[in-house]
Amino acid sequence: MHAKDLIKNSVQKIKDLYEHIAEIKQDPAVPMMKDSKGRHCPVDIIKDIDLARDRLVNNRNTRAQELSQLIEAFKAETFADIDAFIEVSNSEHAAKIGVASENGKRKAWKGNIQLINYAGTEKVSLKINDKIAFNEKLNNAMEKLQDLIKAHSSDIDEIIKVLINEAFRVDKTGFIDTQKVLELRRYKIDHPVWKSAMDDIAESIQIVGSKSYLQFFHRETPEAEWQGIALDIARL
C-alpha cells in the first residue's frame, strides 16, 4: 500500500475513533478510567483528545506485543530448525559440529554458520559470540606492561604505549574494553616481559556466556549483493 493510501486510511481510522469516543461518553455503563496518579476519573469529564490518545497508544502497544511474541517464537523455531538440520547433516556426513559428546551434552559450534538456498538468493546466517571476562591474572599483565613502559620508555614505540594505556583504561561503568585488551595479543613483540604479559592475558580469559545472532538475507540474483531482511522496526 502506498504512503498516501496509508495516511488516508489512518485519517479515516482516527475520525472513526472520535465517533466511537462520543458513543462511549454517552454510555452510562462505561466504567471510570484510572489516570497516571491512580485516580479514577469519570469518562465524561475526560477530553476527547486524551481518550483518543489512550485508545491509539493501547491499540498500537497491544499489536507491538503480539508482534514481539511472534518474532520471539519465530526466532526459537529457526534456532531449532538449524540445530535439527545440522544434526541430520552430521549423521549423513559423519561431521562433528554440534554432535552430542560422551556426557550427552551438545558441542556448540563457533563462528558463523551460513545456510544458502539452491538458487543462491536466500541466506540465513547464525553467529555465536562468546562473552568473556578476565580474572585476577589480568592485573599481573597490566603491572608487567606498565613496568615495561617505565623501564624501556625510550625504546618502546609511542603507538604501543598508547595501546597499552587505552587497553587498561577504566570506563565510566568501572570496566575495561575487552576488545582493546585482546588486541594487544596481536602484536608480536620480542621481549620476555611482553610475552609473559600476553600469557597472563591468555590465562585470565574466562568464557562467561554466549550470545547468538540470527540474520536473514535476500538478493535478486547470485551475482548481486546480499541485502539484509530487517526485523528491527527501527531499521524498516
Rounded to 5 degrees, what angle do the CA atoms 119, 121, 125 make?
115
6: helix, strand or coil: helix
C-alpha cell at 11: 485519517
Q: Which helix (H) or strand (E) holds 16?
A: helix 3-26
Q: Which helix (H) or strand (E) holds 129?
A: strand 122-134
183: helix, strand or coil: helix
C-alpha cell at 224: 548481486
In a domain, 191, yes or no: yes
Interval 67-91 mean pLDDT = 91
b/e for 198-230, b at 16 or more Cβ within 10 A? bebbeebbeeeeeeeeeeebeeeeeeeeeeeee
From CA 137, how far away is CA 118, in angstroms rounded? 49
Which backbone phi and psi does 70 adopt, to 5 degrees? -65, -45
| Same domain membership, residue 140 and residue 43 | no
In a domain, 223, yes or no: yes
**The predicted structure's pLDDT at residue 196:** 94
Interval 50-56 mean pLDDT = 89
Query: For the chain, what is the domain count?
Result: 2
Range of the domain at 182: 110-236
**The predicted structure's pLDDT at residue 32:** 83
pTM over 0.75: no
Work out the mean pLDDT of the chain and round it to a whole number: 84
In a domain, 211, yes or no: yes
| Same domain membership, residue 132 and residue 181 | yes
pLDDT at 99 over 70: no
Q: Which CA distances in Å does 55 have to 6, 99, 146, 192?
A: 19, 51, 62, 69
| Same domain membership, residue 233 and residue 121 | yes
